[in-house]
Amino acid sequence: MNSRSLRIATRRSPLALWQAEHVKARLCAAHPGLGVELLPMSTAGDRLLGQSLATAGGKGLFVKELEVAMLEGRADLAVHSMKDVPVQLPDGMTLGALLAGEDPRDAFVSNAHESLDHLPRGAIVGTASLRRASQLRALRPDLAVEPLRGNVNTRLAKLDNREYDAIILACAGLDRLGFSERIRERFAVTRMLPAIAQGVVGVECRADDQQLHDWLAPLHDEHSALRLRAERAFNARLGGACQVPVAGHATASGERLRLVGLVGAADGTQIVRGEIGGPVDEAAQLGLNLAERLLDDGAAAILRNLGIEV
């Protein structure tokens, strides 16, 4: 038996709470008798929901308070959608476990229309993501892409309120929250390339907490780790934030890893896309190499137009 009890810092959104409960359940199943409790917190990202994520200051807004709680010893671990975690972690923090990935694809959600291709001209599609907006506009320049913020439940409520004809969300979040039947179309990744790390839940903790690392080991998935090593290295070279319309998705099969990535102008008029393959033990280098290639192929100009130095 352990005398130590673990505290999981988590945001209060239904998706964040689901993920934290999931990790708690996995920890308790792997280590019967271990005490685990949730410490729900509000983050700057949650308080600034009126603004677009890009103008408000990016994905770090959702994780900083949780990291401070861990660094101050008020919490032991935090559970994140890895999509929301900046590539650079604060000193002293590490990723203690990356869970097996769920569906990485984006979802087309609509009450009246069965797929993106069925939307009438001029239909209003909600998304706050530059990445989704860029790819949507390239696929369907006739649509009106409008901002949509809030947690998953809020976004669905805005759709039901007829503020949009359709919205785009991640399949993984909808599946986790029991909303799978609301998905009308799961976009092939070749059509709507997902965000870096979409669909992967990760655990962040202090790097020096060896006991916790041992407890987390049974939760870790090596395929997710490989995938994220390539995708996050790719993203890091391209500015590493969600102010940038960057997408990337890696898959490993045996000893081979394949990474597809893109950088797009927000208006969808330009998308620079590429693909790279190589040995899994060079995952990070492959991500970096693909980023360099896209920068040479025009991504550098797109990013410079957005004020991002690369």
Ligand X SMILES: NCc1[nH]cc(CCC(=O)O)c1CC(=O)O
CB of 227 to ligand X, least distance (A): 12
172 binds ligand X (CB under 6 A): yes
CB of 55 to ligand X, least distance (A): 15
Residue 82 or 295: which CB sits closer to ligand X? 82
Catalytic position from the list 46, 76, 84, 214: 84
Phi (first) and psi of residue 125, to 5 degrees = -115, 130
CB of 211 to ligand X, least distance (A): 27
Q: Judge whether 84 counts as a catalytic residue.
A: yes
Applying CB under 6 A, which of residues 54, 99, 169, 241 lies at the interface with ligand X? 169
84 binds ligand X (CB under 6 A): yes
- As given in the structure block, the two tokens for residue 65 are 């308070």
Binding piece for ligand X, criterion CB under 6 A, among 81-89, 92-100, 182-190, 293-301: 81-89
198 binds ligand X (CB under 6 A): yes
Residue 84 or 204: which CB sits closer to ligand X? 84
Active site residues: 84
Residues in touch with ligand X (CB under 6 A): 81, 83-84, 152, 169-170, 172-173, 198-199
